[in-house]
Amino acid sequence: MRPTTRFAALLTVTALASTALAACGSGSGSDPDTVKVSFKQSTDNSVKVMDTYLADIKKQFEKANPGKKVELVPIKAPDAEYYTKLQQMLRSPKTAPDLVYEDTFLINSDITSGYLKPLDDYLAKWKDWEQYIDTAKDAVTGEDGKTYGVPDGTDTRGLWFSKDVFAKAGLPADWQPKNWAEVLDAARTIKEKVPGVTPLNVYTGKPAGEASTMQGFEMLLYGTGDGAADPLYDKDSKKWITAGQGFKDSLAFVESVYKEKLGPEVSDALDPNYGTKVRGELLPQGKLGIALDGSWLPQDWQKGSGHEWPEWSKKLGIAAMPTQNGQAPGRVSMSGGWAWSVPAKAGNPDLAFEFIKTMQSKANAQKWYIANSGISLRDDVAKDPSYVGAQPGIKFFTDLVADTHFRPAYPAYPKVSVAIQEAMEGVTTGDKSVAEAASGYDEALKDATDNQVVGK
């Protein structure tokens, strides 16, 4: 998940809608022999991983299906603006593409809005579906039990650290903190011994959007309990959980990072483009000690990326994020991912699924996981030695899947996420105490979920 502004202003939404209408012309149904594929294009012009991959799939598909054409419809926008633009497109058969790239945390919201088509009939006839792990299938399953997408990989999160910075600070090259205190202590040591370096980055606040929620807060929150129960959503009562001690402790961690000046300047932390700086400048230049971030970072450093950094695997170490007090299982990760879905108002749904099948063959899926620094959701790819050994770090981040968590991707989640970001921002700027931010979250949670809340 890339850090972005969560919601665009009304004028921006209107502009995006207009662009979306123009981008899709007279609608996906205008040509029965053309499949229109809409996807998120990186806002960094030097990162062309998705563009290159889809261009290759387009050639394969058109060669295998004479007379059929693929029209790629890139949407160049940060995550939040992409979501807004995509939803504008999905509302009408005149603008809906045949295939869309969906962030799985929003998929239930789009299902509830009637934007997506169930794919169960197609999947029942597609043998490759058996290769997908159950958690991947769960991520694209609606509350009605039907399947609304084919996931194209997942991700995990951990602690990236600069070996050069650690050496200057006298910290070990094989660092693996056992609890939160050891993470903060390492950051304090860097602050003391390596001036001019940002000790620790934890995404925070509304400008970074879902990156704040997932890379930042939830990596803390999901490590506060025993790992068995979801700390955000109670499945038994089907209600959202108000801020308990674990929630407050997670806010306190964020508060410590910024109050003690262990993180970036608040103005930088609240810059929606700060993640691009982390990947493109701070880590490669040795100006950041520790980054709580995702498994996908190496895609920015590959050949032809514009931020080539071939020695990254020698310069960076990777550690699992520990649980709060080192309680079992000792480490924590969050996983998300994206999926390919067919809009309910697509003109050529059959052709769209044929395109999915081409994209998600074993060979093409493996090619994508490696190019995107993604984690395989297919058993056959995960067991392939050429995938495991394709890039440093793949095995480490793939192994974290055993202890990872997925967000409660119910329709209210996007609003809950914003409430978390607001609470984080309050303690980051110092405008609110932990208690005040937690109380504010409880009120926002009630509004976001129609008062479907429960205390723990």
Give, for all 456 residues of the chain, the pLDDT tens digit.
443 333 333 333 333 334 443 344 444 446 999 999 999 887 777 678 889 999 999 999 999 999 999 999 999 887 778 888 988 999 999 999 999 999 888 888 899 899 999 999 999 999 999 999 888 898 899 889 999 999 998 899 999 999 999 999 999 999 999 999 999 999 999 999 999 999 999 999 999 989 999 999 999 999 998 777 899 999 899 999 999 999 999 999 999 999 999 999 999 999 998 998 999 999 999 999 999 999 999 988 987 777 889 999 999 999 999 999 999 999 999 998 899 999 999 999 999 999 999 999 999 999 998 888 788 889 999 888 888 887 888 889 988 988 899 888 888 998 999 999 999 999 999 999 999 999 999 999 999 999 999 997
Strand partners, 240: 233, 453
Shared-domain flag, residues 143 and 219: no
In a domain, 270, yes or no: yes
What per-residue confidence (pLDDT) applies to 354?
97
Shared-domain flag, residues 25 and 140: yes
In a domain, 99, yes or no: yes
Shared-domain flag, residues 134 and 260: no
Shared-domain flag, residues 199 and 267: yes
How many domains in the chain? 2
In a domain, 91, yes or no: yes
In a domain, 2, yes or no: no
Shared-domain flag, residues 15 and 128: yes
In a domain, 1, yes or no: no
Q: Give, in order, the Cα–Cα distances in Å from 131 to each of 79, 204, 361, 382, 394.
A: 29, 36, 11, 10, 19
d(CA 46, CA 44): 5
Shared-domain flag, residues 67 and 204: no
What per-residue confidence (pLDDT) applies to 30?
67
What per-residue confidence (pLDDT) applies to 303?
79
Shared-domain flag, residues 331 and 341: no
Domain edge (last residue) among 406, 429, 446: 406
What per-residue confidence (pLDDT) applies to 46?
67
Shared-domain flag, residues 257 and 210: yes
Closest CA to 216 of 230, 201, 234: 201
In a domain, 4, yes or no: no
Burial 171-185 (b: 16+ CB within 10 A, else e): beeebebebbeebbe
Q: Are 41 and 48 contacting, i.e. CB atoms less than 8 angstroms apart?
A: no
d(CA 365, CA 359): 7
Shared-domain flag, residues 285 and 433: yes
442: exposed, middle or buried (Cβ count in 10 Å: 0-12, 13-18, 19+): middle
Domain edge (last residue) among 406, 427, 446: 406
Q: Classify the phi-psi angles of 451: left when phi > 0, otherwise alpha if psi is within -120 to 50, otherwise beta.
A: left
**How many Cα atoms occupy the beta-carbon half-sphere of 147 within 13 Å?**
18
Shared-domain flag, residues 226 and 298: yes
- Is the peptide bond prior to 349 cis by the omega test (within 30 degrees of 0)? no
Q: What is the CATH number of the domain that holds 297?
A: 3.40.190.10
Shared-domain flag, residues 166 and 309: yes
What is the distance, to the nearest Å, from the Cα of residue 142 to the centroid of all Cα atoms in its chain? 19
* Domain containing residue 392: 10-151+337-406
In a domain, 3, yes or no: no
Shared-domain flag, residues 200 and 126: no
In a domain, 325, yes or no: yes
What per-residue confidence (pLDDT) applies to 453?
97
What per-residue confidence (pLDDT) applies to 239?
96
